[in-house]
Amino acid sequence: MKNIFRKIFAMNNNVLGINQRNANLVYHYNHRKDFPLADDKVRTKSILEKNGIACAETYQVIERIGDIAMGWEAVQGYEKIAIKPANGSGGGGIKILRKNNKNQWVSSGKGMDKEQVFAHLANIIMGVYSLGGKDRVLIERCIEPSPFFHTIYPKGVPDYRVILLHDVPLLAMLRVPTDKSDGKANLHQGGLGIGIDMKNGCLLQGYDGEYHDNHPDTGAPILGKTIPLWDEIVAISIATSKAFPLNYLGIDIVVDKDLGPLIMEINVRPGLGIQNVNKVGLKQLINQSGLTALA
């Protein structure tokens, strides 16, 4: 019984909770006026592009419902596009569209006619998927994931989440889609979080409420896999952190098969599930780093 209480006490001392994250990190080290730089993907990309940091090419930004038809017409020359709410969160409202052999747009294997697309774009602008109020549509280059990810799971777009404090990477994970998540990597939508050895750039176990050495759907081995371009992934996360006036943040990075690591988005309030994924508390890492001290 004493050993159980010791483990619980040690866990509470090491793991970062939401209230402590918000009070001692998010609001203590970041100014509220700078939050929109991360929350708004259009503003985020403007800063990335200004600083020469790689991200997906922007095809169109649509701000008004009256501009939908013109904006949609402007992207008809592309074969694949990603549609996103500028102020969306958790993957809501994101659609990946590809043209089939009949030159028709398809999303998740289902055709989308112009009326359906326009309705979705209008919903984005009206703020259905946003953090609050009116929003904008961002249409950008569709990422083609590195073949490395196909060895784990063949569908969707996996991404890396790196959490930094004062430009120092503290913890990272790889988020991979599953059959349950329908091609999305977000953990709360059923994606699989995979821990990362920050020093060696190797994958640890996967976590979806239980720990796995193999992907739960494909059976593909996870534990011990070496991450290609790991040094570049770390470097672009640090460069991004330095480009933003935010001292505590989470950075999401995708790896395109042709373009390499690209910044997908910035998070002022990165989720804390990464601690379960890596079996280590952020409070412990921050205190050990000497960057600051959390009681």
Q: What is the tens place of the pLDDT at every residue in 121-169?
A: 999 999 999 866 799 999 999 999 999 999 999 998 999 999 999 999 9
Q: Which residues does residue 107 pair with via DSSP β-bridges, in sequence order?
A: 110
Question: How far apart, in Å, are the Cα atoms of 121 and each of 43, 115, 214?
Answer: 19, 10, 38
Pick the CATH number of 15-55+144-295 from 3.30.470.20, 3.40.50.1220, 3.40.50.261, 3.40.50.150: 3.30.470.20
Q: How far apart are CA 54 and CA 43, in angstroms?
A: 15
Q: Which of 137, 143, 149, 175 is nearest to 251 (CA)?
A: 175
CATH number of 57-142: 3.30.1490
**Number of neighbouring beta carbons within 10 Å of residue 191:** 26
Specify the residue for token string 């593909």.
Answer: 220
Q: Which of 61, 143, 130, 135 is nearest to 96 (CA)?
A: 143
* The 80-85 sheet, strands edge to edge: 58-62, 137-141, 80-85, 95-99, 105-107, 110-111
**pTM of the predicted model over 0.75:** yes
Sequence ranges of the chain with CATH classification 3.30.470.20: 15-55+144-295
Cβ neighbors of 127 (< 8 A, separation 6 or more) are: 87, 133, 134, 135
Q: How far apart are CA 271 and CA 80, in angstroms?
A: 30
Sequence ranges of the chain with CATH classification 3.30.1490: 57-142
**Residues 212-253: pLDDT tens digits?**
999 999 999 999 999 999 999 999 999 999 999 999 999 999
**Residues 32-69: pLDDT tens digits?**
999 999 999 999 999 999 999 999 999 999 999 999 99
